[in-house]
Structures are given as C-alpha cells and as structure tokens.
Structure 1
Amino acid sequence: MFISQIRLRPDTAPMHLAQQFDNSSTYREHQLIWQLFPRDPNAERDFLFRAEKRNGTQRYLLLSQRQPEADPAIWQIETKTYRPRLHSGQRLAFQLRANPVVTRKNAQGRSSRHDIVMDAKKQIGWSTLPTAERPHLPTLIQQAGERWLAERLARHGANLEAVRVDGYQPQNSHKKGAKKPITHSSLDFEGTLQVEDPEPFTQLLYTGLGPAKAFGCGLLLVRRL
C-alpha cells in the first residue's frame, strides 16, 4: 500500500484544470484521482482519498494499492510506503471523514440506508417537537456519530476512547449522464482509540470505513500517541 499527499501545482497548471480541482464535485474529484494511475480498463477502485483545504490550498490524502503516477509539471505528489505495525493495547489518535448510515426496513420489509443524523431526528419525532423541546442539534450529531463509530470499530478490533463529531454536511454530486444528483452526507470524526486485534483493524485501515468511498469518505488516518 502507498499513502500520498497530492496537490495541483498552482504555478504551472492550466487554469481550467485548476478551477476543476478547486470547485469540482466529489465525484469529479474521484475521476481526477483515477487519472493518477496507469490506465487499466479492468481495474476497480483500489484507493481511498480525502480532500482538505490548508491555508487556502486544496490537497488530497490518498491511500492506494498502486503507486500514483502523474505529470510533475502539473501535480505535486509525495508518496510513502504504508505498512502500519500495530499491536494489541496500542493507543492511536485518528481522523476520519465518513458517510455514516444505518440500515432500516420499511413497512414492506425492504431495507434501505439512512443518514444517521436524519435517522436520529426521525427516532425522536424531531419534526413534530416544539422548537424549545428539541435537543441541541450538535449534541444529537455527537451522540449519533459516536454510537455509529464505536459499533463499527468494535467489529474491526478496536475500542473507541474519545471522539469529537462535527462538520455534518449533506452533499449532492453529479455523475455524467445521470438524471439525478447522487446525495450523501459526511461527518468528521477526530479522537483516540485502542487497538484490541491488530489484524482486522489493519484491514480496516486498508479498506476504509462506511460507504461513499468514491466521494472522499472512509479513509481512517491514524498516528501513534
């Protein structure tokens, strides 16, 4: 595996590409990152990414099975081999942008995914509660996100110690040829965890957490404490 930090070179990039990079939908970002790998018509997505803005500059953090390759006149890429060495009881700080959903069955028995924030609102009858009786929205988001993450980390060999949940953002992404936009939401998580079983947790680092990975969600970044 490889982990990379990627930036568009602002001094040499064509203006139209720079605009696309900064203002694109998350689906178009996904297409841009595909271009960093050798063309293979049979290849499936084998990378996770996260978009961030630092000091007004857009960058991408990329975890991939293949090493990215690109024109150095257009892209700045810093790549390192990624082989985390973990042990039981190890404490890690983490960051995660995820698309947290739960699966519910409707009256006809059909299962569908639901945004955890909207689901939490539905469970308490948010729309019918008087404004004064509604819980503080950031608190509802924190509780729903913490519960969702703790359950999923436990399935993959880690215990959640502490987490801050914020940055709730519903998004619409447009795919070429699609009649309707693709809707999803994202939440940002930052906190600490403890590794209980290194093997499944390492696999989680490689494969990501939750759906919407094509839209910049799922990359779990960790560092030693």
Structure 2
Amino acid sequence: MYLSRVELDPTRRSTMAALAAPQKLHGAVESAFTGERRRRLWRLDRLGGRLYLLLLSEDVPELSGVVEQFGTGAAAETRSYDPLLQRVEPGSSWQFRLTANPTKCCKDPKAPAERGTVAAHCSTKYQKQWLLDRAAKHGFALREEEFTVTRVQWQHFAKHGIRPVTLLAVTYEGVLQVTDPEQFRALLCQGMGRGKAYGLGLMTVMRGGN
C-alpha cells in the first residue's frame, strides 16, 4: 500500500470547483491509475493553513495531472504504507484522524418490511456514538472523552450532473487503542462508512497516546 499527498491551491478556479463537487476530485484520483478500476480511499486535509489531498492506493499513482489541475506546483509525495501497517500491534495506542459520513437507517413503522431511508447524524452526540458503535468490529477501542468532532461540512452536488447527492462529512480526531490488529489494518486499507468515492472513510494514524 502507498500513501500519497498533494498540496492543493484553493485559490485556483479549478480547485474551488472541485471542492464544491467532490466527484471532480474522484475522477482526478481515478485518472492517476491505469488498468483495472478500483475504489481508492482519499481525503482532503487542512494542516497549518494548507490544503492537501491524501490518497491511499495499492499501486504508486501518477499524480502529475492532479498537480497540474489543482495543485500549487509542488510535486506530489508518495511513500510506502507497509511500515506503518507492520507497527500495528495489540494494545498499541494511536492518534487518529477520520473524515466519515455517519448515518442511520430510518424505517417507516407502517411498512416495516420495506427498506429504510438513510439519514445523516446531525448532532455531535450521535456522530460520536456512531464511531463508538463501530470501534469493536474494526479492531479498536475508543473512549468518548479521548476523541472529538473537529469539523462538520455538508456536501451538495449532482452525480453525473443529474442525480442530486447530499453527504455530511464529519472529521473526528483523538486517540484509540488497537484490540485486533488484523481488523484494524483492514480498516486502514478499506475505510469506514459511506461516501468513499467522495473523500470519506479514510482513517489515518500516527503513534501517540500512552
């Protein structure tokens, strides 16, 4: 696995358009690869007043097109993700950042057999509970007082220029502890929740905590 980073220029018209319509960035990410089409995890990060595109992939991407279209001119950075994955051990603590789409399924009590509709969790309480509820099956433990919601943003755009899409992007940051390394590595490589094509679901970690 490889983790890549491209600094984006938010003052460029093309970048502003892509920030308003995440499918444009999704297309740019996919164009960085040849061969079989696969779902790659990516995310927008704001660090130190700068805007970055993070991309996790099985192969080394060709990101010159992304740099040319949306970047500052600085070259993309790519490094192997495997050394980090190998350091995931039972009981290890990690600082994490995750931007995800916390949702719930709402069923009509008058039609219990029908498939429910998906709705976003709009309050911080339930956004945090959504992550707490999913921790165990993804191989980590999390305490409510050790993480927080740092950013919430609605995304409204039209898929293929026709079908309206609304997603709630919620960024979590804090400290977690690994309980099952295999499940946790799968989470890091495969993501969590809905909206992965639109920059959601990627968790990144760095050693931290106790």
With normalisation by structure 1, the TM-score equals 0.77
Secondary structure of 2:64's aligned partner: coil
Cα deviations by residue, 1:150-209 (Å, 9 ceiling, x for unpaired): 11111111101311114222210222342x321111111000111011001110110001
| Matching of residue 87 in structure 1 with residue 89 in structure 2 | yes
Residue 27 in structure 1 maps to residue 23 in structure 2: yes
Q: Please say if residues 149 and 170 of structure 2, whose CA atoms lie closer than 8 Å, have aligned partners that are also in contact.
A: yes
Distance 1:114 1:198, change over 3 A: same
Q: Which runs of 5+ in 2 are unaligned?
A: none
Query: Identity of paired residues, percent?
Result: 31
Once the two structures are superposed, what CA deviation does each residue of 1:97-119 show, in whole Å capped at 9, x if it has no partner? 110011232231222211012xx
* In structure 2, C-alpha distance between the alignment counterparts of 1:79 and 1:197, rounded to whole Å: 27
Aligned residue number for residue 119 of structure 2: 114
Query: Which residue is equivalent to 2:184?
Result: 201
Letter of the 1:187 counterpart = V
- Where do 1:51-70 residues align within 5 Å? 51-54=44-47, 57-70=50-63
Report the 3-state secondary structure (helix = DSSP H, G, I; strand = E; otherwise coil) of the residue aligned with 1:171.
strand
1:171-182 pair list within 5 angstroms: 171-178=155-162, 180-182=163-165
Q: Report the CA distance between 1:81 and its aligned residue.
A: 0.8
Q: Which residue of 2 aligns with 1:37?
A: 33
Report the Cα offset of residue 54 of structure 1.
4.4
Q: Which residue of 2 aligns with 1:100?
A: 102
Secondary structure of 1:174's aligned partner: strand
Q: For the Cα contact (< 8 Å) 1:142–1:166, is it kept in 2?
A: no
Q: Is 1:78 paired with 2:73? A: no
2:200 equivalent in structure 1: 217
CA distance in 2, matches of 1:108, 1:216: 34
Maintained 8 Å contact 1:95/1:221? yes
After superposition, the C-alpha distances for 1:43-100 in whole angstroms (9 at most, x for unaligned) are 132x111113446643201111121113388362110111212111111110011100
Distance 2:111 2:204 in 1: 39
1:138: which partner in 2? Answer: none
Root-mean-square deviation (CA), in Å? 2.1
